[in-house]
Amino acid sequence: MKSLFTGVLVLLSASVNVALSQGTSVLASNAAPVDVQAPLLPFYRDVKTSRGYKYHYYFSAATAGKPTLLLVHGFPSLSVDWYRQIAYFKKKGYGLVVPDGLGYGGTDKPEEASVYVHSLLAKDLVDILDHEKVANVLAIGHDWGATTASSLANLHADRFLGFGFLAVGYQAPNTNLTYEQILESNAKLLGYENFGYWKFFSSPDADRIIRGHLQSFWDVIWAKHPSIWRFSFSPTGAFQSFLESDSKTPRASYFKELEPIYNKVFGQNGFKAAVNFYTIQTNGDDQEDDKNVPLENYTIKKPVFFGAATQDLVAVSSLQIAVTKQFCLNSTIQKFNASHWVHHELPDEVNTALDNWIRTVVA
Ligand SMILES: *[C@@H]1O[C@H](CO)[C@@H](O)[C@H](O)[C@H]1NC(C)=O
Ligand SMILES: *[C@@H]1O[C@H](CO)[C@@H](O)[C@H](O)[C@H]1NC(C)=O
Ligand SMILES: *[C@@H]1O[C@H](CO)[C@@H](O)[C@H](O)[C@H]1NC(C)=O
Ligand SMILES: *[C@@H]1O[C@H](CO)[C@@H](O)[C@H](O)[C@H]1NC(C)=O
């Protein structure tokens, strides 16, 4: 009897296991996403830069002979935005310095716009590198992080082996075109206002409106369909209307892991500091700042990589490629059939392309 019972129990428990594992796989699509931030947390450090701001950054040292990557995120992101790159490059022995940008996450969040000009952000980043005493550094920026990386190339080229840009290419200094002039000339070229949302982001109400409609905000920022940006994001007034009517649109699957982190961090901190990246464009502070760059430093002689995102309807890849080619004497340009979040949408392709380029730089 005993052995019979045991047999039955084994069978029962086997079928329970099957049921459980089926249940788990059914549940998986609705289950809590993997916590992509937890493995990074032990590696964070803080430092005060020379102008007195505390920066919070991920750091891991390079193994012998490997370069270090400075990964610079844009709007509205956090250092964790790079988790797919951190995992890939860390395993290969690259050093990594990955800050929360000024205005974001664990870094200071001053509300005064003028402190966000890119020459000052660039100096902050150099301060972090100096503090960590890292040599052989490549700066890689996405979105506004690409603009800061451009400033590093203009003002601190000697500190770097090369510069990488994702979705947004090299940005040559602009000392004389106003936001309105850029908006108008791009609209003539493209047939739509690709930067119309800058006016909304730099308005005093932006933080309140975005926070009040945060789920609609993420819907568009991380839209599954890149075409949404042309109609519901970029034209003047369109994004504010989308938010205020609590409109919905499906999100890209690759946002799933970041979503709980972004809800928590931006829910707490809001956007008042972060939207200053737009305010300095529309109020002229950034154009004034660009006057610090001597004309001869507009041209970039160090190796440059640009990963263009051909489905990005805001940072339009053909325009980004043209400027990068014009000013960067030694550029490697690779097109990805992806939206703005190219390093999330095609992480394997982007990581491999960057890695291959970096190998040519350090060879
Ligand atoms: C211009 O570039 C050179 C070489 O990269 C650099 O030494 C110099 O400091 C730059 N000029 C300014 C004003 O930053
Ligand atoms: C704008 O500035 C660029 C260099 O910064 C210069 O080449 C161009 O001539 C200027 N255009 C005007 C209209 O001043
Ligand atoms: C780019 O990807 C989209 C799907 O996201 C596809 O419809 C399109 O055919 C692709 N284009 C090219 C040139 O591969
Ligand atoms: C251009 O950059 C590559 C690295 O990507 C390097 O191997 C090559 O020597 C550079 N060419 C010149 C002319 O500096």
Domain contains 20? no
Domain contains 153? yes
pLDDT tops 60 at residue 18: no
CATH code of the domain in which 236 resides? 3.40.50.1820
Ligand 1 pocket, residue 166 CB under 6 Å: no
Q: Among the residues of the chain, which ranges form H helices?
A: 2-28, 83-91, 118-132, 144-155, 179-190, 197-201, 206-212, 214-221, 228, 238-244, 259-269, 276-282, 285-290, 317-327, 342-345, 347-362
Structure confidence at residue 32 (pLDDT): 83
301 φ/ψ angles, rounded to the nearest 5 degrees: -95, -25
Among 117, 118, 297, the mutation site with the greatest number of ligand 1 atoms within 8 A of its Cβ is: 297
Domain contains 15? no
* β-strands 95-99, 137-142 pairing: unpaired
pLDDT tops 50 at residue 6: no
**Cα atoms found within 13 Å of the Cα of residue 124, Cβ hemisphere only:** 29
Domain contains 280? yes
From the CA of 224, which ligand is nearest?
A: 3
264 φ/ψ angles, rounded to the nearest 5 degrees: -70, -55
The whole-chain average pLDDT of the chain stands at: 93
Q: What does DSSP assign to residue 326?
A: H
Domain contains 249? yes
Domain contains 26? no
Ligand 3 center to 237 CA (angstroms) = 29
Give the residues surrounding ligand 2 with Cβ less than 6 Å away.
Answer: 175-176
The whole-model pTM stands at 0.92
Task: Give 159-203 pLDDT, tens digit per residue.
Answer: 999 999 999 999 999 999 999 999 999 999 999 999 999 999 999
Domain contains 33? no
Domain contains 13? no
Could you tell me the residue range of the domain that residue 176 belongs to? 41-362
Ligand 2 center to 196 CA (angstroms) = 23
What is the domain count for the chain? 1
